[in-house]
């Protein structure tokens, strides 16, 4: 159990000021539970373990045999590789005494700019994450800089994270791009160009949850993507390789990965960090029912906790529906917990949280957490929501109860962590400018929330 002291609460006045500067003055009234009232603390060891796990996953997905297996059952549109990466990947983890466990991967993970703004408002970064976010999109479009970019989602004004769409539009507009927000029904395909309001669209930032663009109302977008007439990101190919829940069965099979050529140490990393998962098949109904209490059932193309069932609460009727659908059964890993006193409460409460790593091309851009109570991360609990993630600078800020009688106390006084596609490596902290310069020479990134971190021994901290 992690204890969060009262003096570590989010500075709401600073957050309000930064939101107002973005034209989002009313956000905390319209979305009172978007941002959590307290941060979440993680240890440097957990940061490193997540980075190593992300690197191992990326290495596994690069295997030709993995890609063939992942694409074998993918829709036709998803089998086409457009030749550019997908933006805003989210790797979601539960932190356990044995290390982080991958829960799922999302290819249109929301919250990157919102969490970057939260971190900047609390002095955790100087805007570098937001600059890297724009650089991510620039990497995708390459030399095809879009004149017009549309952020697409179904009925976008009613989406809970719609304020983030406006943040993206402001960032794109600063680059001279005509950025818009639209429902997919507003798009048309004339056989040569994708259009919005009769004007040519060069790029689409896709926030739809129809990952294969199979719905009739997405036909124009699908046709333009198929014809390579528009840059679409994230795209169906990325979802098929990363986010289809069936891929968790591949990533949790170290024996198969080893036979297919993945290095033994990476197989061990995946075995430790990816909970076992298996396809649900009618012929396995008896064994799955008998072991249901230790499993979590997920729809293969589900998202956001929809059509997901905790096995210990499963009825016979629901189990029958699962057997008729397309599901996986993943070993259940409980979320980590912390205690803090939310505003207006008289006493500390217990909260669950997961850890999200926003990733682009194998690099971790930002860590964020989601604090919640209940069964899912629903952004409805007062005091909960997106939470700032901080690494511990002294043992007094975090207590990780690894066993019943043992506490882990971490420090971050003299080490920075370099993160790249190979994982994480320590670097002596002898001044922020020196560390950042050394990271640049090595072609690596500092974990964003570590930039500018001051030691408690620093008289200016």
What pLDDT, on the 0 to 100 scale, is given for residue 406?
27
The answer to whether residues 11 and 122 touch, using CB atoms and an 8 Å cutoff, is: yes
The answer to whether residues 82 and 228 touch, using CB atoms and an 8 Å cutoff, is: yes
Helix (H, G, I), strand (E, B) or coil at 400: strand
Helix (H, G, I), strand (E, B) or coil at 132: helix
Task: Report pLDDT digits (tens) over 190-207.
Answer: 999 999 999 999 999 999
What pLDDT, on the 0 to 100 scale, is given for residue 361?
96
Beta-ladder partners of 356:
92, 368
Q: Which two tokens stand for residue 227?
A: 């014809």
The answer to whether residues 59 and 323 touch, using CB atoms and an 8 Å cutoff, is: no
pLDDT over threshold 90, residue 20: yes
The CATH number of the structural domain formed by 281-332 is 3.30.1490
Task: Report pLDDT digits (tens) over 224-265.
Answer: 999 999 999 999 999 999 999 999 999 999 999 999 999 999
Helix (H, G, I), strand (E, B) or coil at 139: helix
pLDDT classification of 4: cutoffs 50, 70, 90: confident
Question: Mean pLDDT over residues 100-113, rounded?
Answer: 96
pLDDT over threshold 70, residue 420: no
Q: Which two tokens stand for residue 448?
A: 């964003």
What pLDDT, on the 0 to 100 scale, is given for residue 306?
66
The answer to whether residues 329 and 296 touch, using CB atoms and an 8 Å cutoff, is: yes
- DSSP assignment letter at 229: -
Which residue ranges make up each domain of the chain? 281-332
What pLDDT, on the 0 to 100 scale, is given for residue 307?
73
What pLDDT, on the 0 to 100 scale, is given for residue 305?
59
The answer to whether residues 265 and 284 touch, using CB atoms and an 8 Å cutoff, is: no
d(CA 367, CA 47): 9
Question: Mean pLDDT over residues 167-173, rounded?
Answer: 98
Higher pLDDT, 339 or 421: 339
Task: Characterize 290-304 residue by residue with b for buried, 16 or more Cβ atoms within 10 angstroms of its Cβ, and e for exposed.
Answer: eebeebbbbbbbbbe
The answer to whether residues 207 and 218 touch, using CB atoms and an 8 Å cutoff, is: no
The answer to whether residues 97 and 426 touch, using CB atoms and an 8 Å cutoff, is: no
Task: Characterize 379-403 residue by residue with b for buried, 16 or more Cβ atoms within 10 angstroms of its Cβ, and e for exposed.
Answer: bebebbbbbbbbbbbeeebbbbeee
d(CA 419, CA 445): 5
pLDDT classification of 124: cutoffs 50, 70, 90: very high
pLDDT over threshold 80, residue 457: no
The H-or-E segment that residue 287 falls in is: helix 285-290
- Please name the residues in contact with 435: beta carbons below 8 A apart, sequence gap of 6 or more: 416, 427, 429, 446
Helix (H, G, I), strand (E, B) or coil at 461: coil
């Amino acid at each position: 159990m992690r204890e969060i002291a009262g003096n570590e609460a989010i500075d709401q006045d600073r957050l309000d000021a930064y939101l107002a500067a973005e034209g989002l003055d009313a956000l905390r009234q319209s979305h009172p539970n978007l941002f959590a009232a307290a941060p979440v603390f993680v240890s440097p060891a957990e940061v490193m373990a997540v980075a190593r796990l992300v690197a191992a996953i990326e290495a596994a997905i690069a295997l030709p045999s993995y890609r063939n297996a992942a694409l074998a059952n993918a829709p036709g549109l998803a089998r086409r590789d457009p030749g550019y990466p997908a933006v805003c990947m989210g790797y979601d983890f539960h932190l356990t005494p044995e290390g982080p466990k991958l829960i799922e991967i999302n290819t249109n993970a929301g919250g990157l700019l919102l969490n970057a703004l939260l971190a900047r408002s609390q002095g955790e970064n100087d805007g570098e994450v937001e600059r890297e976010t724009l650089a991510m999109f620039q990497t995708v479009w390459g030399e095809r800089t879009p004149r017009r970019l549309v952020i697409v989602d179904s009925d976008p004004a009613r989406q809970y994270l719609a304020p983030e769409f406006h943040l993206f539009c402001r960032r794109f507009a600063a680059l001279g791009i005509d950025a818009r927000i639209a429902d997919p029904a507003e798009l048309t395909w004339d056989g040569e160009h994708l259009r919005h309001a009769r004007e040519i669209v060069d790029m689409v930032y896709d926030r739809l949850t129809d990952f294969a663009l199979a719905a009739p109302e997405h036909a124009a977008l699908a046709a333009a993507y198929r014809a390579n007439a528009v840059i679409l990101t994230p795209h169906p190919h990325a979802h098929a390789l990363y986010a289809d829940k069936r891929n968790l069965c591949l990533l949790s099979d170290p024996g198969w990965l080893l036979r297919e050529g993945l290095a033994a140490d990476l197989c061990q990393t995946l075995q430790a960090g990816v909970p076992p998962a298996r396809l649900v098949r009618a012929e396995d109904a008896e064994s799955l029912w008998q072991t249901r209490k230790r499993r979590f059932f997920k729809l293969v193309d589900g998202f956001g906790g929809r059509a997901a069932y905790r096995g210990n609460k499963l009825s016979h009727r629901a189990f029958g529906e699962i057997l008729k659908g397309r599901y996986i059964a993943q070993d259940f890993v409980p979320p980590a917990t912390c205690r803090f006193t939310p505003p207006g409460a008289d006493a500390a409460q217990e909260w669950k949280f997961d850890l999200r790593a926003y990733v682009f091309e194998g690099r971790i851009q930002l860590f964020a957490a989601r604090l919640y109570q209940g069964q899912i991360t629903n952004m409805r609990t007062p005091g909960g929501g997106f939470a700032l993630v901080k690494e511990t600078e002294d043992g007094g800020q975090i207590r990780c109860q690894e066993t019943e009688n043992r506490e882990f106390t971490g420090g971050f006084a003299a080490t920075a962590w370099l993160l790249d596609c190979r994982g994480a490596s320590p670097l002596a902290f002898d001044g922020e400018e020196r560390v950042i310069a050394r990271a640049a020479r090595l072609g690596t990134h500092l974990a964003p929330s570590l930039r500018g971190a001051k030691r408690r021994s620093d008289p200016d901290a």
